[in-house]
Each structure stands twice: as structure tokens, then as C-alpha cells.
Amino acid sequence: MDYSTEYNEIFLRKYRELENIDPNLYASLKKHYREEFETFRTLRNSLTHDEVEGHYPFAVSKDVVDYIDAILEIATTKVIDLCTPLDALVTVKLNTTIREAVSIMDIKGFSYLPILDKNQRVIAVVSEKGIISYLAEGNISPNDTVNDFKRYFLINNGKEKFSFLSASDNLDSARKTFERNKNTKRCELIFLTKNGHPEEAVLGILTPHDVL
């Protein structure tokens, strides 16, 4: 493990940066990383107040610096920088046949295909669960469109959880959104809009893989 008094100065600077982030975000991170924050506080106090003949009492390891840096990254990274942006989204239309949608999902390896209106607002999501519900109908046709069975793909149909965040939200907000429903209904996708409202144009999407 790499130790150096040089890392002490870096650690103390990073600790000050952590203390100066938004108080609500700080409280959220402290709750999630309680033991780590306590360790950081103990190290900081000792380095600041327990000098021996004008020298630091110990040398912080690079691993500690890397860890506090990782937490700072969570605090400062914006979700818009992690998402799949609108211009890269693979979407389908209401008049797309379900057979075509299934083919796209199979080829691309996707579990979800958003459907956006002309103003880029999300109106539905073709999903594997929705397709299973459709197949259970029986008497299906190759010409069936998403619109014909839209009730299975609406984002508020109660079968799946989709959330909205502001493009300016941070990584911690996205992680909490996905983790919040871990023991109940899991959040499948997060849609990013300007202010986090469903009636706004979609700017991008996040999956759990993007942030967890």
C-alpha cells in the first residue's frame, strides 16, 4: 500500500471539498457512507491537531485519498453526463408492430424501448413484461401494433416503475432512485428532463447499470 505525507495534503484538501458540498447532499452521502465518513473525520482531526514536533503523526495511504475522491465524484457528477442522450436513444412508434419491436430488442439486447411523442415526451415503454402480457392475450397477429395493446406499455400501468429526474441532478440522486424501490417495485429506467417532470421533453435515460 502506497503511503506518503504528500497524500496528507491531498486528503485534507479533498476533505474540505467534501465539507463544502450542498448540506442536503452531504447528509445523504454521510448516511450512506457512515463508517467511511467517521474514518475521514478521525483522520482529519488527528492530522490537524496531533502534530508531533511540527510534523504529521502519520501518512495517509493513496487508497484513502482514492476513496474520498470517489465519494466526491458521486457528489459532483451530473446524471446528464452518464445517460444515453436523446439523439442516441433507440425508440419505436405507436404504429410499430410488436413483432418489429421484439426483433429490435432481440438484436440490440435491450429490455426496454421508449415511445416518444412529436415533442419528445415519453408516452409509453415497450418492455419484456408488457410483451409477455400481450402474448398471454392469445389470438395474436403479426400485424398487431404497439398502439393496439398500448395498455400494456403505458408508463403508469402499475406493472413497472419508471422515474423522472432533472438533468441537473447528481449521481447520488440517481442511485437513491434505483435503490429506493429495491425491496418493493424496482425502478427500471430513469428518464431525464429539464426539471424532472414527465410532461417535459426527454433529454436522456439512465439504467441501473449506468449508475450502480
Q: What is the pTM of this model?
A: 0.82
| pLDDT tens-digit series, residues 48-66 | 999 888 889 999 999 999 9
Instruction: Map the chain to HEC letters.
Output: CCECHHHHHHHHHHHHHHHCCCHHHHHHHHHHCHHHHHHHHHHHHHHHHCCECCECCCCCEHHHHHHHHHHHHHHHCEHHHCCEEHHHCCCECCCCEHHHHHHHHHHHCCCEEEEECCCCCEEEEEEHHHHHHHHCCCCCCCCCECHHHHHHCECCCCCCEEEEEECCCEHHHHHHHHHHCCCCCCEEEEEEECCCCCCCCCCEEECHHHHC
- Domain extents in the chain: 5-76, 81-211
| pLDDT tens-digit series, residues 64-99 | 999 999 999 989 999 999 999 999 999 999 999 999
Residue 137: pLDDT band (50, 70, 90) is confident
pLDDT at 183: 60
Top CATH class of 81-211 equals alpha beta
